[in-house]
């Protein structure tokens, strides 16, 4: 790579850096205010979570865009360091020279197209997922006792969820496939509450009469 080409890429990287810094600065100003301040609401604790759904989505999107800009900025800074030590334009994995066409498209690229493809395929195969999913999938897995070898019948996480869902949620029957009324909206909603079998709810009138007689 000639000095002229290197200087051209340095200018491109500098322009990208300035754009990213302006983007991050603008997003930081937006995120500096609370959700209540940005919407003009006295409180964001509304009865229905969809009341602020749009605002929450936009705020989450701003956080994601800012984080992505910070990652790109780190890559740009790394490219500047590689220019200073003379390794710019060479793949970090195989050490071969990165084609100029790739650098023109992505001046901060640190891997050749072949190594990048292998890395992308490897990520797809390994299925990199958050570590907490091993204990949180399905929901409340740590406190679900249905698979307990000792056949535990205690009040577990599933029962707690059912108890809360009986008071309602933002879901409606049309949101859950196969639901006909609000009782169908939570897991195992057909289960009896406080009894094992319908016969358990039958009042023993003779026992009650005897107790009153005493």
DSSP state letters, 141-191 = GGG--TT-TT---S--HHHHHHHHHTT--S--GGGSTT--SGGGGSTTTTS
Q: Is the pLDDT assigned to residue 12 strictly greater than 90? A: yes
User: Would you state the pLDDT for residue 146?
Assistant: 64
pLDDT digits (tens, 9 = 90+) for 151-184: 666 777 777 777 777 777 777 777 777 777 777 7
User: Would you state the pLDDT for residue 189?
Assistant: 67
| Banded model confidence at residue 126, pLDDT cuts 50, 70, 90 | low
| Banded model confidence at residue 76, pLDDT cuts 50, 70, 90 | very high
pLDDT digits (tens, 9 = 90+) for 101-123: 999 999 999 999 898 888 877 66
Q: Is the pLDDT assigned to residue 80 strictly greater than 90? A: yes
pLDDT digits (tens, 9 = 90+) for 17-62: 999 999 999 999 888 877 666 666 666 665 566 667 777 788 889 9
| Domains defined for the chain, CATH in brackets | 3-128 (1.20.120.910), 151-213 (no CATH)
Q: Is the pLDDT assigned to residue 208 strictly greater than 60? A: no
- Tokens 């016969």: give the residue: 199
Which range is least confidently modeled, 73-77, 81-85, 134-138, 170-174? 134-138
Long-range interactions of 56-59: CB distance < 8 A, separation 24+: 59/31, 59/35
Average confidence (pLDDT) over 75-98: 91
User: Would you state the pLDDT for residue 163?
Assistant: 77
The whole-angstrom separation of Cα 92 and Cα 74 is 16
Report yes or no: 80 and 59 within 8 Å, Cβ to Cβ: no
pTM: 0.55
């Amino acid at each position: 790579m000639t000095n002229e080409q290197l200087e051209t890429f340095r200018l491109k990287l500098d322009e990208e850096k300035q754009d990213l810094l302006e983007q991050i600065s603008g997003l930081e100003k937006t995120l500096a205010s609370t959700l209540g301040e940005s919407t003009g609401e006295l409180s964001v604790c509304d009865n229905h979570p969809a009341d602020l759904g749009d605002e929450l989505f936009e705020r989450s999107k701003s956080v994601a865009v800012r984080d992505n800009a910070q990652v790109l900025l780190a890559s740009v800074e790394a490219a500047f360091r590689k220019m200073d030590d003379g390794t710019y334009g060479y793949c970090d994995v195989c050490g071969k020279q990165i084609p100029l066409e790739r650098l023109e498209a992505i001046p901060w690229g640190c891997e050749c197209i072949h190594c990048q493809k292998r890395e992308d395929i490897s990520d797809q195969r390994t299925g990199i997922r958050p570590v907490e999913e091993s204990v949180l999938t399905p929901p409340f897995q740590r406190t679900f006792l249905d698979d307990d070898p000792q056949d535990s019948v205690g009040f577990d996480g599933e029962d707690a969820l059912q108890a809360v869902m009986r008071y309602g949620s933002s879901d409606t029957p049309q949101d859950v496939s196969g639901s006909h009324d609000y009782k169908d909206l939570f897991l195992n909603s057909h289960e009896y509450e406080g009894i094992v079998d319908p016969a358990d709810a039958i009042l023993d009138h003779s026992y009650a009469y005897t107790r009153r007689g005493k």
